[in-house]
Amino acid sequence: MSFLQSIKNTVRSRSIHVSYVNVGSCNGCDIEVLAMLAPRYDIEQYGIYVHNNPREADILLVTGAFTPQWEDKLKSIWDKIPEPKAAIAIGNCPISGCVFNRRGSFVDPPVAKHIPIAAEVPGCPPRPTEILNAVLSLAPVVFKDYEEKQQ
């Protein structure tokens, strides 16, 4: 285990930090992601925190139909997230391109071709509870080293 991973596991062993990127959505999925932050769903009660710094993230949420302009940018964001990490495709767009995947369009789905995707949340858009379930389901992945250390 690297020094950085050791610090991460010690300091953040009880919380999941989520970063978020929109690679070309209609904003429908983004509203559902933001709804998780509102009092109705209140994801912070589960120890999940959303912010925009990938260097502090465990999980990357990706919305939108991938376009070639995002090739380098998305890879750069993904590379900044320290291990262990995971990415979740939110909505049909990063999974299939959804309504944007037409002949002659510039979308290049699935986003799993460009970064490793650990979970997919289909829907147009998916419900906040489904997104929340996906984030919580990846806790064993992003805290793998911590869990092993406790055994």
Phi and psi, residue 26, nearest 5°: -85, 0
Residue 128 contacts ligand SF4 per CB under 6 A: no
Residue 91 contacts ligand SF4 per CB under 6 A: yes
Residue 98 contacts ligand SF4 per CB under 6 A: yes
Q: Which stretch in 4-12, 49-57, 85-93, 112-120 sits in contact with ligand SF4 by CB under 6 A? A: 85-93
Q: Which stretch in 69-77, 88-96, 105-113, 141-149 sits in contact with ligand SF4 by CB under 6 A? A: 88-96
According to CB under 6 A, which one of 4, 99, 129, 140 is a site residue for ligand SF4? 99
Residue with Cβ nearer ligand SF4 (54 or 64): 64
Residue 92 contacts ligand SF4 per CB under 6 A: yes
Reduced 3-state DSSP string for the chain = CCHHHHHHHHHCCCCEEEEEEECCCCCHHHHHHHHCCCCCCCHHHHCEEECCCHHHCCEEEEECCCCHHHHHHHHHHHHHCCCCCEEEEECHHHHHCHHHCCCCCCCCCCHHHCCCCCEEECCCCCCHHHHHHHHHHCHHHHCHHHHHHHC
Residue with Cβ nearer ligand SF4 (24 or 54): 24
According to CB under 6 A, which one of 18, 26, 132, 139 is a site residue for ligand SF4? 26
